[in-house]
Amino acid sequence: MTIFIFFFCLLYVLYSVICLNPSFKLTQRPFDTFMRFDQENTIQKNLNIIPPEKTQLHHIVFGIGSSNATWNYRKEYVKLWWNPNKMRGFVWLDKNMSSTSNYDNVTTTTSLPKIMISSDTSRFRYTNKNGDRSGIRISRVLAETVRADSENVRWYVMGDDDTFFVPENLVRVLRKYDHKQYYYIGSVSETHWQNHEFSYNMAYGGGGFAISYPLAKAIEKMQDKCIQRYPYLYGSDDRMQACMAELGVPLTKEVGFHQFDLYGNVMGLLSAHPVSPLISLHHLDKIEPIFPNVTRVKALKRLKKPITLDSAGLMQQSICYDRPRKWTISVSWGYSVQINRGILPAREIEKPIATFNDWYGTNDENSLTFNTRPYHRNGCQRPYFYLLSNAYASTTNGTTTSVYAHDGAPRGKCKWRMADPSRIRHVKVYKKPDPNLWDKSPRRNCCRVLPTNKNDTLLIDVGECRDSEPF
C-alpha cells in the first residue's frame, strides 16, 4: 500500500510539471527542471561564500630577542619599523632594566613592543666551549611568544634587536604560503663557512624567520625536551633547526631575509638586490651605515620615504643602456644608481660589487654564497655611484620621483675614449608604484634614459620591460 501511494505521488508531480506548466517544452526532459533548480541553489550558495581574508600585519606576532645590555640603544632600530597600532609582538630580555636606565618602559608613550622577561633556563645543560648559554634563552623566545599571544595568529616572526624589517614586504611574502600548514621560512648566511659550520638548512634568526601557527604550536609543545638533547650546540638558531629536523620540516628559503654576516660597506650588495622583496637587514652594528657620513639610525631612516611610496619596489634593480655615451646604468630603486662605463651584459651587472668582506675577513670571493664582481682599486674602473637624497610622489599621475646624489668618491683623471660620467651630479628616477609586483612571476624591471637639457643631471624612467628591452 505504501509503495502504491509513493508512485501515485510521483506521477502527480510529473503531471503537474509537464501539463500544468505552460513554459515547459515537450522536448525538455522532466528531471532537467529539478537538476536546474539544484544547480541554481549551488551557485547561489557559492556566491554567498566569503573568501578568506588575506594575511595582514595583525595576523603576525613578532618575537624579538634582546638583552638588558643591548636593548637601551638598539631599541632605536626597532622604532624605525615598529607600528604599535598595527603590529603585535614582544621584546624578550634576560632581566628587568635597571632603574638608572633612561629607557621609558611605559608602552603607551613609546612606539615599541611590550617588554617581557624570559623565564629561567638554568635547568638546561650547555656544554659548548665557544658559545654563550644565552642561546638557550633566545631559542625559547618562540615558545614563550606562543604562550603569550596565540589568538587569531597565522605567523610568528623571530628577529633580533638589531634587525630592521620591512613589514609590508614581510606580509607580501607570507601571503604566498598556507599558514595552516607547517612552514619554516627564512634564509641562510652570506658567508659560506657560517653555513658549513652550522647548516645550510638553518634559518639565521638575526635576519629573521617566520613560522606558521600550527608549526609554532608543535614546537612549543616539544621544544624543552628537544633542547635537552642538544647541549653541545652553539646558539639559538641551530637549536631551533635541530627541533625542526626532528619534526621533519625543512627550511623554505626566501632570499629577502638578510643575515648580513658581512663586514664593511654593503652598498655593493644592496645595489644589486636579488629579484625578491627586501624583508630584513641585520647586524646593523657590524656593517657600515648604508648611507655614508650619517649615523646608522639616520641612514636607515632615509629608507622610510621610499618604503612609504613603494615598498614592493624597494632596492629592486633595473638595468638600461645609454648607447650614445656607451654607459651601462643600474638602478636600485629607493637606494642607489650606478653608471658603468662601457656596454656591459646584464649577467655581470646583476652581480653585487664586492664592497664588503665576509664574516671571517678572508677577502676571498669563494667564501661568499653568491657571485660577485670585483671592487677595483683603480677609481677609473669603478662605477660612479649615486645615493638616495630625496623621494616624493606626484600629485597628478601617481608617479614617484626619487633623486640620487653623487657619493663624492674621489677619482683621478681617466683616459677613456667615451663620455665621462663625472659631469653627472644628480640622477632623477621616475617610477609608477606597482603594489602587485610580487603577485606576478619574478622579473626585473627595465629602465630608460630620458632626454634632458641639463648637463649635470640624468633622467631615468623605471617600469615593466617592453618588447626588446633592455637591449
Nearest to 448 by CA among 462, 434, 428: 462
For 442-465, give one letter per residue: b (16+ CB within 10 A) or e.
Answer: eeebbbbbeeeeeeeebbbbbbee
Phi-psi region of 193 (alpha: psi -120 to 50; beta: other; left: phi over 0): alpha
Amino acid, res. 310: D
Residues 6+ apart with CB under 8 A from 419: 324, 325, 326, 327
Q: HSE of 63 in the Cβ direction (CA atoms, 13 Å)?
A: 26
pLDDT at 307: 98
pLDDT at 42: 57
- The answer to whether 189 and 239 have CB atoms below 8 angstroms apart is no
Angle at 230 between CA 225 and CA 236, to 5 degrees: 95
Amino acid, res. 123: R
For residues 435 and 392, give the distance between their C-alpha atoms in angstroms, rounded to a whole number. 17
Preceding omega of 470 cis (within 30 degrees of 0): yes
Whole-structure pTM value: 0.88
Q: For the chain, how long is the longest CA-to-CA vector?
A: 112
Angle at 55 between CA 52 and CA 58, to 5 degrees: 115
Nearest to 300 by CA among 439, 166, 437: 166
For residues 329 and 445, give the distance between their C-alpha atoms in angstroms, rounded to a whole number. 13
Tell me phi and psi for residue 213, to 5 degrees.
Answer: -55, -50
pLDDT at 40: 57
**Beta-bridge partner residues of 280:** 165
Helix or strand run (H / E) with residue 157: strand 155-160
**Alpha-helix residue ranges (DSSP H) falling in 248-360:** 267-270, 296-301, 304-310, 346-349
Amino acid, res. 439: D
pLDDT at 107: 46
For residues 362 and 371, give the distance between their C-alpha atoms in angstroms, rounded to a whole number. 16
For residues 366 and 370, give the distance between their C-alpha atoms in angstroms, rounded to a whole number. 9
What pLDDT tens digit does each residue of the chain (471 aa) get?
A: 555 555 555 555 455 545 555 454 444 554 454 455 456 565 555 556 778 899 999 999 999 999 999 999 999 999 999 999 999 999 999 998 875 455 554 444 478 999 999 999 999 999 999 999 999 999 999 999 999 999 999 999 999 999 999 999 999 999 999 999 999 999 999 999 999 999 999 999 999 999 999 999 999 999 999 999 999 999 999 999 999 999 999 999 999 999 999 999 999 999 999 999 999 999 999 999 999 999 999 999 999 999 999 999 999 999 999 999 999 999 999 999 999 999 999 999 999 999 999 999 999 999 999 999 999 988 888 999 999 999 999 878 889 999 999 998 887 788 888 899 999 999 999 999 998 999 999 999 999 999 999 999 999 999 999 887 766
pLDDT at 12: 55
For residues 61 and 88, give the distance between their C-alpha atoms in angstroms, rounded to a whole number. 5
Cell numbers given for 178? 598556507
**Beta-bridge partner residues of 402:** 391, 429
For residues 200 and 441, give the distance between their C-alpha atoms in angstroms, rounded to a whole number. 26
- The answer to whether 411 and 341 have CB atoms below 8 angstroms apart is no
Nearest to 180 by CA among 279, 278, 59: 59
pLDDT at 358: 96
For residues 249 and 272, give the distance between their C-alpha atoms in angstroms, rounded to a whole number. 31
Going along the chain from its start, the domains and CATH numbers come out as: 57-259 (3.90.550.50), 311-463 (2.70.130.10)
- The answer to whether 302 and 366 have CB atoms below 8 angstroms apart is no
